[in-house]
Amino acid sequence: MVRKPKALRKGDRIRAVAPASSELDLPGGINKGIAKLTELGFEVSLGDCVKKVRAFGYLSGTDLERAAELNEAFRDDEVDAVFCVTGGYGTPRMLPYVNYEIIKSKPKIFLGYSDITALHIALHQKSDMVTFYGPMVGSEFTEYTQQWLIRALTRVEPLGEITNPSDGPIIKTITEGEASGNLVGGNLSLIAATIGTPYEVDTKDKILFIEEVDDPPYLIDRNLTHLWLAGKLQEAAGIIVGEIVRSKPRDYDASLSIWDVLRDRIGSVGKPAIYGLCCGHGTHHLTLPLGVRARLDATQGRLWIEEPATGG
Q: Are strands 109-112 and 160-162 parallel, antiparallel or unpaired?
A: unpaired
Average pLDDT, the chain: 93
Percent of the chain at pLDDT exceeding 70: 96
pTM attached to this predicted model = 0.96
Q: Is 23 a catalytic residue?
A: no
Cα separation values, 7 from 12, 17, 29, 97, 308, Å: 10, 19, 27, 27, 10
Same domain, 233 and 110: no
Gap between the Cα atoms of 40 and 60, Å rounded:
27
Q: Does the annotation mark 268 as catalytic?
A: no
Q: Which of 266, 201, 218, 213 is nearest to 244 (CA)?
A: 213
Which candidate in 65, 69, 211, 307 is catalytic? Answer: 211
The 10s digit of each residue's pLDDT in 73-131 is 999 999 999 999 999 899 999 999 999 999 999 999 999 999 999 999 999 999 999 99
How far is it, in rounded angstroms, from Cα 5 to Cα 228? 33
Q: Smallest Cα–Cα separation from 19: which of 75, 76, 59?
A: 59
| pLDDT above 80: residue 24 | no
> Which domain range does residue 76 map to?
13-141
Summarize the confidence of residues 173-202 as an average pLDDT. Answer: 97
Judge if 232 and 179 occupy the same domain: yes
Annotated catalytic residue within 120, 124, 281, 284: 281
Domain-located, residue 152: no
Name every residue whose Cβ is closer than 8 Å to that of residue 49 and which is 6 or more positions away in sequence.
17, 18, 22, 55, 60, 61, 65, 66, 69
pLDDT of res. 199: 96
Contact 291, 131 (CB under 8 A): yes
Average pLDDT over residues 60-67: 95
- Please write the tens of the pLDDT for every residue from 231-262: 999 999 999 999 998 777 777 677 889 999 99
The CATH number for 301's domain is 3.50.30.60
Does residue 211 carry a catalytic annotation? Answer: yes
Task: Report, as an integer, the average pLDDT of 158-163.
Answer: 96
Domain count, the chain: 2
